Structure formats: C-alpha cells, structure tokens
Chains A and B, each alone.
Chain A
Amino acid sequence: MTLDTPFHIGIGLDAGSRNFFHHETGPDGLLQRLDAAIDLITLEDRFARPDGGGLDAILFANWLGARTRHAGILAGAPVNVLEPFHVSTAIATLDYVTEGRAGLLAQTLDDEQIAAAKRATGPLNGYPADDRQSLDQDFDEAIDVIRRLWDSWEDDAVIRDPESQRFVDGAKLRYVDFKGSNFSVLGPSITPRPPQGQPIIAATVGAGNAAGGKADVDVVFLRTGLNDLPLLLKAASAVQPGLRYFADIDIDAGESKTELHWKTEAENVAARVRQWAFKGLSGIRLLPVRPERDLIPIVDHLLPALRAAGIGQTHQAKTLRERLALPAAANRYVHAA
C-alpha cells in the first residue's frame, strides 16, 4: 500500500567530535547514499555538554551542505545561549550553500544543560535568566528575531543600477528594530534574504518540554514513547495545526542483524506509519542509538526496506520548503499593493 500524501523520513544525528562522513566521499560514499535516500538530516548541537561539546553543528551543517545535493539539512543551535544575529546569518548562509535546503533546529536546554552552558560562556548581560519562563520567552524571541532578519532584505533589494550608480535600493532594506525582554536587535541582516526566504525552523517537543510547540516553527519532532505519541500529536496539533509533525523513532541495530531482521523492522515501522499518517503525522525521524554502528545498516537496509513497503518515496523538490509542501514564504515587511 502506498500513502496518498508524501510521508517524510528524516534522520537525526548529533554533531559529536567525530565526522563519520569524512573518509567516505566517493559517489557511493555513506553520505551520498544517505543524501539520496532521505528527506532531511538534523544535526543536534552538543554545546557545553559535560563530556565535551563536539563540533559546532551549524558549521558542520555547512560542510555537509556543500557535499550533498538532495536532503534538507537542519542545523541545531541552543538559541538561548547564542547571538541571534550570528545564528540568523549562519543559517541564511547554509541556505545559500545548499541552494534552498536549509533549516534551523532550535534547541531548548534542560536545567543542567543551561547551567553548563552558562559556565562555559560566563555571566553575560543580554541573555535570559535560568528560570523556565525566562528561557521559554527568550527562545520565542530569538526565533522571532532570526526570522525578522531573514526578511530584512527584500528579494529584489540588489538593483545594480548604473543610472543612479546604486548597487542596492536602500528602501528595500529594513531595520527589524526588535525589542525583547532581555535584548534588542536593530538590523538589517548583513546577509541578503536567503533562497527559501524563510529557511525551515524545527523544534523537538517531548512530554516534559512544550516550549518548541508554541514558538514560530514549521516542523516539530515529537519525542515520546510509541504509546504516548497519539496523545502528544493531538495536543500539539490542536495548538498549532498548520505545522509538520514528525515522530522520533530510536533505531538500535544491535550486533550483526540479518536482512530478515531489517525487513521485519521496516514492516513494523511501515505499519505504524500508516496509522499515524492517517492521524496527521507528516513523517518520522530515525534516531540511530549509536550512529557509528547503526547508520550504515539504516542506510543500506532499513531505508530500502521502508521504500519497498511504500514509505519514503523520494519526490522531486528543489527546496526543503517544497519538499515539506510548505507554502512559499511571504516577506512580512512587504505588503501586497
């Protein structure tokens, strides 16, 4: 059975200190096989984690972006502890590098993570206090500013007009003039409006964390046990019905699994997916438990088996927005005449 609406498969990795794609770069390398088979890749950032922060996820995403051609790439960033201006220009750059496949995975931090992050950056003005309410509000504000900066140039701001000797039409650049509870950003961005206009913003929502579900995001990853998923989906989509919801599924390849194992696993996933798609889920995100072990069997066995079961057909789409069937992003500062 094939699903009527496109159902998406993503893969969730983190930007640990190792880069498993480095050595396999040929046309049949792991990254190329993954790129061809998947709709999107998320890269979680490990900012100030106790065992070490790994690679900066936004930069790693730009590296991956230059080496892939199909998959959407969503770079993780703990926006509460970063400068929204830098995050906005870096994701816009990712969108230029990938010609429209970029996204931001806006990460919330739990209490321990925020404490570690603050030890690593020191006490600074302009950043939120440690309580949940301040963090949640700052999270929403940071996302708001990041988006406003993307709109701070009109698409046709660059005019290269010899007559008036002007490269840019200043009337098409705007101050975003954002004033939040902890910080303000004037703008405009130093980076022109990216190819998608608005790159995708995603957040992860679990039973204990609803912050991402209220912010101005396009995609939500639902992180919960299988039994709780329908409830979480229902609750989240009641608040924000227009978003794309993905279910997170841990994949543990264990040791030496057979072809048959993967076929059965794929059929199990496919059966669940049919039920969920019916209830409004747009996709699944596979989370390899140990990527250095699990990624290869996922790419070589699970994804083909899922495709054979009718899930995750690769559809033609140039940008990540198109792939997710999201409407073209209007510029908030341009009003239709």
Chain B
Amino acid sequence: MSKKKVILGAQFPGVNNFTVWSDPAAGSQIDFSSFRHFAETVERGKLDFIFLAEGLRVREQKGRFHELDVVGRPNTLAILTALAAVTSNIGLIGTLTTTFNEPYPLARQMATLDTLSGGRAGWNVVTSPGAFTGANFRRGDHLPFAERYERAREFIDAARAIWQGGEFVVKSKHFDIVGRTDLPPSPRGGPVIAQAGDSDTGRDLAASHADLIYSRHGTLEEGQAFYRDVKGRLARHGRSENDLKILPGAAFALGDSQEEAEENLQAIRLQQVSPKNAIVFLEQVWNRDLSTYDPEGPLPQIDPEVSTPALAQGRASRVDDRLETARKWREIAEHEKLSIRQLVIKITARKQFVGTGETVAREINRYVQENAADGFVFAPHLTPTGFDEFVEKVIPHLQEWGVYRKDYSHGTLSGNLGLPRAA
C-alpha cells in the first residue's frame, strides 16, 4: 500500500500562554513584518496552510484584563488577505465564528479572500456563543448555547449557496436572506471548511460539512480513537474517508540530540508557565483567588468554589466538573511530588514532538501512517521566527521519504490538501 501524504499547517502563535514573550528572540505579535516573516517561512517549507485562531474579546481573570499572556491580534480576514498579496501558494485558514457574523457579509469576505488568493482561502468554523463576547456586537448575546451548531450548520449551507454565484435565496430557521453575487464561483463550491468543535454535535457537523478537523487529540491512542470515530461518521453523509482530513494541534521542540531537545522543551515549558500563570491556571478550576499560594509549593487543600460564576472569561476550554478535576490533580501532584507550577506544566502539555529534526519527522510520519492523524497543525512558541528551525530541520526528512511535497503543484488549498474536486 502506498504511503499517506502528510499534511502540515502552521498556526501563527496566538493569544495564550503557549506563545512565549519573555524570550529575547520574541518579536512583535502585531506588526505586519511578523506575519510576513511567518508566512514566507512556511511557504519556503512548502507547508499546506497558515492557521489563525480567533478571540473577539480580551480575556479576563477575576474581573480584570488578563495581563500575563500575549494579547492583541489583527482582524483575521484582513491580515490573511494582506498575506495573500505577498505569498503565492500557501493556504490561508482563518477561524471565524458563526455567532457574531452573518452569512452574506462573511461569505462575501471569504469569497474575496478566495478570489484574491487564487483559491487559497479556508474557514475554521467555530460557534463560541455567549454574553461575554456578545458584549462587543450589535446583536449581543442572541444565541442560546444549545442552538450554536444548528446555526453553524445553516450558516455553512447559506454560505455555500452564496458561493454558487448569481442569485441566492436562503430560508431556514436562523436565516431569511436574498441577494446576488458576481464573484467567480469557486470550482469546488467555495473555500475549504475546517471545524474545531469536539462535542458529539461538533463531530457530526464536521462529518457532514467540513473538509478538515482541527482537533485536540494529539497522542497516538487518543488520536486513533478520534480518527476512527470521526471517519466512521462519514459514510452516513455519503462521504468517503478521503473527504475529511484530521489534523490535531501539536507543538515541537528541536535539538541537535534527543537530550538537548528535551532540555529545550523544559526551558520552553518554564517560560510558558510562569509562576503567576500557574496560579491563574489553577484559579480556573478552583474558581477562587489563589494569589497567596506559592507556585513552587503544594496544591491548595481547600476545595473549588462551585456556586459562583467562572472567574476566567474568554478562553476556548471550559472546566466542567471542578471538584473532580481538583481531586484528580491533587492525586497526581501527591503521587509525583509536584509543585503547583510543575503540575500545571504537566497538565497543560499539548502533544509535543521532541527530538532532532529526523526523529521528529519520523514520529510525525508514524502518527500519520498509523492513522492517528492525517497531519498536524503546529503552533510554535515564538513570534515570528518559531517556525524557521522546523522548516530547516524537519521538512527535508519528510520530503526525502516521499511523504511530503518538494514543491507546490496546485496553487489552491484544496489541491494542497488533496481534497476531491467536488464538495
């Protein structure tokens, strides 16, 4: 059997503590030169796409702006369209919510990006409803949590109707719109659709509507289980396994030897989880002020506060069962003799590929060939140079083994990804 091709996306370092700002090599998170450097680097590495996350409100902690992490980002579609002007092959995927956008303006913007980039546009569809983000928008908190995916599904259907070109008429529960577009219709029915929701409904939406999934499940076993689950849902929608690519988010740490790479990883993790950041992370579960605790000391014996609203606002992840989570963490910390900071470093670890360029490349390829993924979306820890080393040291091995392109052959994102032509 021939080997699967590896798919690789590069996430521009985002607004969270994985992006290290305290390193002397850390550059501007907002200047265009940073985005340009990042885009040119990943295009030199022949990556499939650049990926941008989204958060439409500045994050808060205990009723104050969260100060410890990188914050401040451009408008997602605007920066991607600017990047389209200075690149020629790299895909451009932006995360955009269906809750605080409307189908006509957003579909027209996606079509604009697709036209100006020559077919390189992608949309990571997220739902992220709620009063916190709603406070920045005309419609406010207009959508019940339970209806988020219903609206998302109807939204994508509406966008696809608009992307057909010419007249569109959409009448559904959430939308009642009529109009006309004159942009050239996209050959495969519109930009590439990605999906990041993890719930059962989220996975179903991906199975029926998406071209790729950006997932949280990066380890071999979890990845394989997720892969089986989601690919297994495709037949019900008349789609084949090749129609939906599964790309977990992941990180990497490189070195000239395995030992050096492990040391580099430790140093990066300490930068990512500063003493204060460790406390803030714990506060998300305990839901109380823990600022008097020593980050290098043991976990609090006091139980989480469960009766009051969350202290942390504007984060993608939510903590469901506080008491149970706290109990589990105490157990891990006691068993492994970990301080608060060490525990947080352990708990918040994403899938990490650690080693020399060659060992990292080998692991990536193994995960793909063993169906834990079709590829990965890598988020480096430094802006804007965080991907340079990956492009120099990892990509050439994948190319040598024939599982990664040596040059672009399509110029469109769906072509890069090897998606079937018809949507």
Which positions in A face B, CB cutoff 8 Å?
17, 19, 22, 47-48, 50-56, 58-60, 62-67, 81-86, 89-90, 92-94, 96-97, 99, 116, 119-127, 153, 157-158, 160, 162, 165-170, 173, 182-188, 190-192
Contacts and interface: CB of A to CB of B under 8 A. Distances in A.
Contact of B102 (A85, A97, A121, A162): A121
Nearest to B74: A93
A167 B73 CA distance: 14
13 contacts: A17-B182, A22-B116, A59-B78, A66-B32, A66-B83, A83-B101, A93-B78, A119-B178, A158-B72, A160-B21, A167-B69, A170-B64, A186-B136
Interface in B72-100: 72-75, 77-79, 81-86, 100
B182 A52 contact: yes
B58 A89 contact: no
Contacts of B69: 167
A54 B111 CA distance: 10
**Contact size class for B?**
35 or more
Contacts of A50: 180
Nearest to A128: B138
Contacts of B230: none
A183 B138 contact: yes
A254 to B, nearest CB: 26
A56 B108 CA distance: 7
A86 B68 CA distance: 25
B10 interface: no
Contacts of B108: 47, 53, 56
A192 B81 contact: no
Nearest to B100: A83
B65 A185 contact: no
Contacts of A125: 138-140, 142
B282 to A, nearest CB: 15
B116 A55 contact: yes
Contacts of B116: 19, 22, 55, 59-60, 63
A229 B102 CA distance: 39
Contacts of B179: 48, 53, 116, 119-120
Given A53-B179, A66-B85, A122-B176, 20 more contacts: A17-B182, A19-B115, A52-B182, A58-B78, A59-B109, A65-B82, A66-B82, A84-B138, A85-B136, A93-B79, A119-B177, A119-B178, A124-B138, A125-B142, A153-B72, A167-B67, A168-B72, A186-B136, A191-B75, A192-B72
Interface string B115-126: 110000000000
Nearest to A188: B58
B255 interface: no
Interface stretch (B186-194, B231-239, B270-278, B356-364): B270-278
A1 to B, nearest CB: 40
Nearest to A57: B112
Interface of B: 21-22, 26, 30-32, 55-58, 64-75, 77-79, 81-86, 100-102, 104-105, 108-109, 112-113, 115-116, 135-140, 142, 175-184, 274-277
Contacts of B139: 124-126
Contacts of B113: 59
A98 to B, nearest CB: 8
B55 A190 contact: yes
A62 B140 CA distance: 28
Nearest to A16: B182
A167 to B, nearest CB: 5
A167 B181 contact: no
A168 B71 contact: yes
Contacts of A93: 74-75, 78-79, 82
A190 B56 contact: yes
Nearest to B134: A186
B180 A52 contact: yes
Contacts of B175: 122
B112 A167 contact: no
Contacts of A165: 22, 68, 274-277
Contacts of B276: 165
Contacts of A62: 78-79, 81-82, 85
A97 B136 contact: no
Nearest to B109: A56
Contacts of B81: 59-60, 62-63
A56 B55 CA distance: 22
A53 B181 contact: yes
Contact of B84 (A47, A63, A121, A168): A63
A158 B176 CA distance: 43
A268 B74 CA distance: 44
A167 B137 contact: no
A121 to B, nearest CB: 5
Contacts of A182: 138
Nearest to A192: B72
Q: Taking each of B56, B73, B182, which has the highest tally of chain A beta carbons within 10 Å of its own beta carbon? A: B182
B32 A124 contact: no
Across the A-B interface, the 10 shortest Cβ-Cβ residue pairs: A52-B182, A126-B138, A170-B65, A120-B179, A66-B85, A93-B78, A186-B135, A89-B75, A93-B74, A183-B138
A48 B56 contact: no
A185 B82 CA distance: 27
Given A83-B100, A89-B75, A169 B184 contact: no
Nearest to A186: B135
Contacts of B79: 62, 93, 97
Q: Taking each of B31, B72, B78, which has the highest tally of chain A beta carbons within 10 Å of its own beta carbon? A: B78
Contact of B73 (A67, A126, A190): A190
Contacts of B101: 83, 86
Given A124-B139, A182-B138, A185-B137, A190 B177 contact: no
B74 A89 contact: yes
Given A121-B102, A121-B105, A190-B58, A55 B183 contact: yes
A82 B22 contact: no
A20 B270 CA distance: 51
Given A55-B116, A85-B137, A187-B136, A17 B105 contact: no
